[in-house]
Amino acid sequence: DVKVTQSSRYLVKRTGEKVFLECVQDMDHENMFWYRQDPGLGLRLIYFSYDVKMKEKGDIPEGYSVSREKKERFSLILESASTNQTSMYLCASSFPSEGNQPQHFGDGTRLSIL
């Protein structure tokens, strides 16, 4: 079974802090994704990575950056946290889409910015 592990289930941070969310997958997937999920808005893609050190912006990249130094690990960074970044953050991974492979998700990090 695919295992996608997010480092924290719940996190509380202060406005202006630099926040790191970590994600690790154990299936040797090339692709990794960061989403945020908000009521009524669904899942929105922040960034994704299709290889080590490669990244592409998703639909809402503003205020975020990412890092992928190793194939199994993908980090989301909130450069200067703001209250409108309070949300559920979900990490996912998959093989390249040429094989019609679905994304597999972690259980999320519920982040509150005070």
Partner 1 sequence: EDQVTQSPEALRLQEGESSSLNCSYTVSGLRGLFWYRQDPGKGPEFLFTLYSAGEEKEKERLKATLTKKESFLHITAPKPEDSATYLCAVQARGYQKVTFGTGTKLQVIP
Looking at residues 56 to 85 of the shown chain, list those that interact with partner 1 (rule: CB under 8 A).
56, 58
- CB 43, CB 35: distance < 8 Å: yes
For the bound state, the minimum distance from the C-beta of residue 16 to partner 1, rounded and expressed in Å, comes to 28
For the bound state, the minimum distance from the C-beta of residue 42 to partner 1, rounded and expressed in Å, comes to 4
Torsion from C-alpha of 98, 76, 87, 9, nearest 10 degrees? 100
Q: Rounded distance, CA 74 to CA 113, Å? A: 21
Binding site for partner 1 (CB under 8 A): 4, 31, 33, 40-43, 45, 48, 50, 56, 58, 90, 92, 96-97, 100, 102-108, 110
